[in-house]
Amino acid sequence: MPSLVSIVILTLNGLKYTQECVESILKHAHEDIELELVFVDNGSTDGTLDFLRTIPSSKLICNQVNRGFAGGNNQGIAASGGDYICLLNNDTVVTEGWLARLLAWLNKDPSIGIVGPRSNNVAWSQRVSPIHYQSAEGLQAFAMNWSLLHQGQGFFPHKLIGHCMLFSKRLVEQIGGLDERFFPGNYEDDDFCLRARIYGHILWVANDVYIHHYGGSTFVANRTNYSASALGNAERFAKKWSLGISGFELDHYGYNPSDLVEREKPFRPRRHYIPTQPSSSKGGLSE
């Protein structure tokens, strides 16, 4: 029986990116993987909602206010019916075989909690540089060649980037969702990965999967100060995990996730579990 994968995509304007992302998903859908697209819109005003309403067999949650990356994804996770959930940024472009390969890693090794791909515009552990394409056709050719050269290869990272993360719904039952204190975005993916590792899972980079990531498009489209968001959430992250450093130091010099994981074990639900529907959240309108 085909696996059902729920792909959760947040939107807040940036229509052209969302269109390109959705088109790539539908174009490269795998016949053995049943897809459910779950869109969470955080208040778009550029025609994004009109476009999302045209996509068949999808779910749409419309927020009247911006719930941020963590809050919006939590809504999408809660609405997902899939055995697996993929959090995918709307400014990504997926490639041939991307989801089948990611899913294969989860099914191959039960110790893997979250798997992510290689990309161009991400942190160094997942980054491929330089890239040699300047068109949609060039991207697909590059990705296919990359997958062939690195077939069956993967490696353990200290953390994964939230632009594309695939995990089972069971993981959410174990550790909860994304921590909404990290608003509007930055460090919620660090936090999610940490809690998965504290529970006892490992993270995995599928070296045989490459997708394109424009990066930061929501911040640009909505004139949000990315640096200020990163610094503010770095401060919250450092305080939550008692790192003993300032947000500035964390954001500029980083930290060692593996040391933090070992210090925090074992997983304690009262400290580490994050509900996907916190009581203080404001619900959106589903369509």
User: Is residue 135 exposed (0-12), middle (13-18) or buried (19+ Cβ within 10 Å)?
Assistant: exposed
For residue range 21-36, what is the model confidence (pLDDT) as tens digits?
A: 999 999 999 989 999 9
For residue 194, give Cα distances in angstroms to 104, 200, 203. Answer: 23, 10, 9
* Confidence tier at 287 by pLDDT (50, 70, 90): low
> Over 50: is that where the pLDDT of 281 sits?
no
The gap from C-alpha 8 to its chain's centroid, in whole angstroms, comes to: 8
* Averaged pLDDT, 210-215: 96
Confidence of residue 229 (pLDDT cuts 50, 70, 90): confident
Would the pTM count as exceeding 0.85? yes
Do the beta carbons of residue 180 and residue 72 sit within 8 Å? Answer: no
* pLDDT higher than threshold 60 for residue 220: no
Q: Which residues contact 164 (CB under 8 A, 6 or more apart)?
A: 86, 87, 88, 89, 92, 116, 117, 119, 211, 213
Q: Quick: pLDDT tens for 26-83.
A: 999 998 999 999 999 999 999 999 999 999 889 999 999 999 999 999 999 999 999 9
Strand pairing category for 84-88 and 3-11: parallel
- Positive or negative: CA dihedral 240, 214, 33, 205: negative
With vertex at residue 72, the alpha carbon angle to CA 199 and CA 275, rounded to the nearest 5 degrees, is 35
pLDDT at 114 over 50: yes
Q: What percent of the chain has pLDDT over 90?
A: 88
pLDDT at site 57: 83
Instruction: Look at residue 125 and give its three-state secondary structure.
Output: coil
Compute the distance between CA of residue 25 and CA of residue 27 in angstroms, rounded to an integer: 6
Neighbours of 257 (CB within 10 A): 17
User: 218 pLDDT band (50/70/90 cuts)?
Assistant: low
Confidence of residue 278 (pLDDT cuts 50, 70, 90): low
Query: In this structure, how many other beta carbons lie within 10 angstroms of the beta carbon of residue 99?
Result: 26
Please answer whether residues 9 and 40 qualify as being in contact, where contact means their C-beta atoms are separated by less than 8 angstroms.
Answer: yes
Q: Please write the tens of the pLDDT for every residue from 252-274.
A: 999 999 999 999 999 999 999 99
pLDDT reported for residue 200? 98
Share of the chain above pLDDT 70, in %: 92
**Could you give the residue ranges of the DSSP H alpha helices within 109-206?**
136-149, 169-175, 188-199
Q: How far apart are CA 44 and CA 66, in angstroms?
A: 9
Calculate mean pLDDT across residues 248-252.
94
Distant-in-sequence, close-in-space partners of 149: CB < 8 Å, separation ≥ 6: none
Q: Is the pLDDT of residue 127 over 70?
A: yes
Domains parsed from the chain with CATH numbers: 3-275 (3.90.550.10)
Q: If you average pLDDT over residues 117-122, what whole number do you get?
A: 97
pLDDT digits (tens, 9 = 90+) for 74-108: 999 999 999 999 999 999 999 999 999 999 999 99
Distance between CA atoms of 31 and 107, rounded to whole angstroms? 17
Asked if 213 and 143 count as a contact pair (C-beta separation under 8 A), the reply is: no
- Indicate the Cα dihedral angle 212, 164, 51, 78, nearest 10°: 180
More confident residue, 226 or 265: 265
Cα–Cα separations (whole angstroms), residue 234 to 52, 125, 189, 251, 268: 33, 19, 12, 6, 23
* Dihedral angle, C-alpha 97, 133, 148, 214, nearest 10 °: -40
For residues 264 and 287, what is the distance between their CA atoms, to the nearest angstrom? 40
Q: Provide the residue count of the chain.
A: 287
User: Is 119's pLDDT higher than 60?
Assistant: yes
Q: For residues 197 and 222, which has the higher predicted lDDT (pLDDT)?
A: 197
pLDDT at residue 282, as a whole number? 42
